[in-house]
Amino acid sequence: MAIRARRSFSIKTQPGFTTIAMACFFLLYLPIATLVVYAFNSGESVAVWQGFSLRWFQSAWQNSLVQEAAWRSFLVAGFAAALATICATMAAIATTRTVNYPGLTFKYAFINQPLMVPEIVTAVALLIFFSRIKVWTGYTGIGYLVLAHTAFCIPFAYLPIRARLENMDLTLERAAADLYAPPWQAFRRVTLPLLTPGIIAGFMLAFVISLDDVVITEFVKSPGQETLPTYMLGQLRRVVTPEINAISAAFLALSLLLVTAFFFLNRKKS
Amino acid sequence: MGSDSAAIDVRGVSRIFKGAGQDEVRALDNVSVAIRQNEFFTLLGPSGCGKTTLLRLIAGFDFPTEGEIRLYGEDIAALPPYKRPVNTVFQNYALFPHMTVAQNIGFGLEMLGKLKEEIAARVAEMLALVRMSELKDRRTSQISGGQQQRVALARALAPRPKVLLLDEPLSALDFKLRKDMQIELKRLQHETGITFIFVTHDQEEALTMSDRIAVMNKGRILQVGSPQDIYVRPSERFVANFIGDTNFLKARAVGAKGGKVKLDLSSGGSLSADLPPEGLSVGEVTVVVRPENASISEIKGSDFAGNVENIVYFGTDTHVHLKLADGLPFIVRQQNSAGSTAAVKIGDKVGVSVVPGTAKVIRD
Ligand SMILES: Nc1ncnc2c1ncn2[C@@H]1O[C@H](COP(=O)(O)OP(=O)(O)O)[C@@H](O)[C@H]1O
Ligand SMILES: [Mg+2]
């Protein structure tokens, strides 16, 4: 590393770099570290350390409201990520296995729209849109949350799938066609198996994004349809106990696990 | 030409790629060629001359702008690749990385809906044919380049295609492996009796392997013939230049008799040469003489004379580089067998004699 730094320009050698880097590091991780540490506090406070205990994890685990919200979160995230991944896979194939045409850039923008439109705008729009439908149909179930989450998860599922399709050797599909595979068979026997890591990665990313959402969920949910994040937000308005820390810590662990798995899947070359 | 007995009959095919704005690329320009059943046919030409484009049209990955392609008399130009009884060995092999060697070889048969036992038997037969039986359960990433090459061949041959297309299949191999694979390919073609259309830019490879060669340049086929035909009777300057070493002479015809023409060379001497099949153009003509068909001799009684500029020793033979009176270069290749080499030095003025019947008048 030292040799490399001497040979070419390196940001690391710039004055003040270490200070700024350390500051960023602390700003990012110190609050999270504190949060995790106090999840293990044996007292009632989130600010005064009174000894180590797992009581808040236990209490959160046994809290029926937490259980219900967690279950709903997983349900919504599971369905939304699955739907988003299917849409994203089809969109990725349609936008990569084609000759370039004038409208294509517009389509990329369209697919990635949820990344660019402010979340609060989407949330308000969906609130108004769905409230009409709720009145007309009388249906107030979890379906609205699933649909809303699907919509904003699509770009996250789309990106890794598209990346994998773009890196795939096109002659493989040609070879399949050459060996008498009609388009559907060529897709099923060659493209899809090679695309699978991308699809799993896309699913996991969409799942994490959905699991984490507050703004859109808060606007779209019917009364009583708390997900884990909205439940936590509600709790913060009342008495704060380390139970919230425990839930957050568990949440963090799960997200880290999924994101790490995503990373490894994405790195694995075909 | 153009009979229904041809395995592949390409008739007046053009492929024009529209570029940005007005410019277009004529990758193929009115190409016609008939490829016979069971022959080892080679498309030879420099990079960018349209070889791959022609192969892709035959395989069905691309469609002609004009013209038709017939397979045993049937027009296939509009059929998708999976409906053509034609298989391809890709330049990068394109083996399926998520399948084993055996699964790769069986893929085409599976897609054709063959029975399991039949597929297994044929795969075993193919594995034996390319000597890969003991590696049948390996992943394609776990075998060497040469082995991948053989799997690609077996995979393309397994469904018994009517025609096998090979796009520069040997270009990624090192010299030794390449020589082995050239022999292997000839053997496979002989044993399977399948028509091979082989693409290369290597003239030596084309000469040693082919039954017939089509020499291409800039989207056109310039000459089709056996390796001997093309080497001995090149039709035009590009062909003569691309295949083997050649000397070009400028001359003026002074009288023709029985397919032979008497020429006055612009360098001073005179020569008798074969006429091209389409006859002689008026004015200055170009004559080709292969270096091995010329020898150094006394000026008296020789065909023409030149100054020795360089002498290059190659072991089996020696190349004597001359400069003729009109400034053109001329190379004489002398065999180094004992006693046959005239002793010449740089700076000598020497005579050159051409073996009668070997000089050819060509299109320029
Ligand atoms: N898809 C394409 N679009 C535009 N031009 C192309 C395309 N494919 C080939 N060409 C052009 O056609 C010509 C012939 O290409 P190719 O058949 O690949 O040559 P070869 O295989 O003999 O090297 C080249 O000039 C190439 O740039
Ligand atoms: Mg090519």
Annotated domain spans of chain B: 8-237, 245-362
Does A16 lie at the interface with B, CB-CB under 8 angstroms? no
Are residues B278 and B237 in contact, defined by beta-carbon separation less than 8 angstroms? no
How far does A267 lie from chain B, in Å, by closest CA?
A: 17
Please report whether residue A57 resides in a domain: no
Q: Is the pLDDT of residue B236 over 70?
A: yes
Nearest residue in B to A196, CA atom = B98
Using pLDDT thresholds of 50, 70 and 90, give the confidence band for residue B206.
very high
**Model confidence pLDDT, tens digit, residues A12-35:** 777 788 888 889 888 989 989 998
Q: What percentage of chain A exceeds 70 in pLDDT?
A: 96
Are residues B70 and B84 in contact, defined by beta-carbon separation less than 8 angstroms? no
pLDDT at B338: 64
pLDDT at A47: 81
Give the pLDDT mean for B1-25.
Answer: 81
A262 or B322: which carries more pLDDT confidence?
B322
B98 neighbourhood in chain A, CB within 8 Å = 193-194
Q: Do B90 and A169 touch (CB under 8 A)?
A: no
From its phi and psi, is residue A69 left (phi > 0), alpha (psi between -120 and 50) or beta? alpha
Which neighbouring-strand residues pair with B312? B319
Cα gap B55→B60, rounded to integer Å: 8
**Model confidence pLDDT, tens digit, residues A47-76:** 888 889 899 999 999 999 999 999 999 999
Using pLDDT thresholds of 50, 70 and 90, give the confidence band for residue A7.
low
Nearest to A214 by CA among A172, A248, A184, A188: A248
Task: Report residue A112 as tokens.
Answer: 């990635």
Using pLDDT thresholds of 50, 70 and 90, give the confidence band for residue B284.
confident
Q: Is the pLDDT of residue B159 over 90?
A: yes
Q: Is the pLDDT of residue B4 over 80?
A: no
Q: Is the pLDDT of residue A270 over 80?
A: no
Please report whether residue A206 resides in a domain: yes
pLDDT at B342: 60
Using pLDDT thresholds of 50, 70 and 90, give the confidence band for residue A268.
low
CATH homologous superfamily of B245-362: Nucleic acid-binding proteins (2.40.50.140)
Cα gap A176→A180, rounded to integer Å: 7
DSSP track, B276-310: PTT---SSEEEEEE-GGGEEEE-STT-SEEEEEEE
**Model confidence pLDDT, tens digit, residues B67-126:** 999 999 999 978 999 999 999 999 889 999 999 999 999 999 999 999 999 999 999 999
Return the beta strands (E) in chain B as ranges: 8-18, 24-35, 40-44, 66-71, 74-75, 86-89, 163-167, 195-200, 212-217, 220-225, 247-257, 260-265, 270-274, 284-289, 294-297, 304-313, 317-324, 329-335, 349-354, 360-362
Written out in words, the top-level CATH class of the domain with range B8-237 is alpha beta
Give the pLDDT mean for B54-68.
Answer: 94
User: What is the identity of the amino acid at B67?
Assistant: G
**Model confidence pLDDT, tens digit, residues B250-275:** 998 888 777 788 889 988 888 888 87
How many CB pairs below 8 Å do chains A and B form together? Answer: 63
B197 or A109: which carries more pLDDT confidence?
B197
Are residues A204 and A258 in contact, defined by beta-carbon separation less than 8 angstroms? yes
Q: Do B90 and A174 touch (CB under 8 A)?
A: yes
Please report whether residue A67 resides in a domain: yes
Give the number of domains in chain A. Answer: 1
Are residues A208 and A259 in contact, defined by beta-carbon separation less than 8 angstroms? yes
Using pLDDT thresholds of 50, 70 and 90, give the confidence band for residue A230.
very high
**CB-defined site of ligand 1, < 6 Å:** B 17, 25, 27, 45, 47-53
Using pLDDT thresholds of 50, 70 and 90, give the confidence band for residue B176.
confident
Please report whether residue A117 resides in a domain: yes
CA of B47 to the centre of ligand 2 (A): 7
Decide if the complex's ipTM is over 0.85: no
Whole domain around residue A206: which residue ranges?
A: 63-266
Cα gap B327→B349, rounded to integer Å: 14
Nearest to A248 by CA among A265, A261, A263, A235: A235
Give the pLDDT mean for A128-132.
Answer: 92
Contacts of B183 (CB under 8 A, 6+ apart): none
Hey, what's the torsion of the CAs at B107, A175, B195, B245, to 10 degrees? Answer: -140
How far does B139 lie from chain A, in Å, by closest CA?
A: 12
Tell me the CATH number at A112. 1.10.3720.10
pLDDT at A263: 82
Nearest residue in A to B99, CA atom = A190
β-strands B40-44, B212-217: how paired? Answer: parallel
First to last CA, chain B: 25
Q: Whose CA is nearest to atom 10 of ligand 1?
A: B27
B314 or B331: which carries more pLDDT confidence?
B331
Cα Rg of chain B (Å, integer) = 25
Give the pLDDT mean for B228-241.
Answer: 93
Chain B, residues 265-304, CB within 8 A of chain A, namely: none
Using pLDDT thresholds of 50, 70 and 90, give the confidence band for residue A2.
very low
pTM of this prediction exceeds 0.95: no
Q: Give the angle subtended at the CA of A50 by the CAs of A47 and A52, to the nearest 5°.
A: 110
Please report whether residue A169 resides in a domain: yes
Domains B8-237 and B245-362 share a fold: no
CA of B219 to the centre of ligand 2 (A): 12
Task: Report residue B185 as tokens.
Answer: 């390919």
Q: Whose CA is nearest to atom 19 of ligand 1?
A: B48
Give the pLDDT mean for B30-47.
Answer: 96
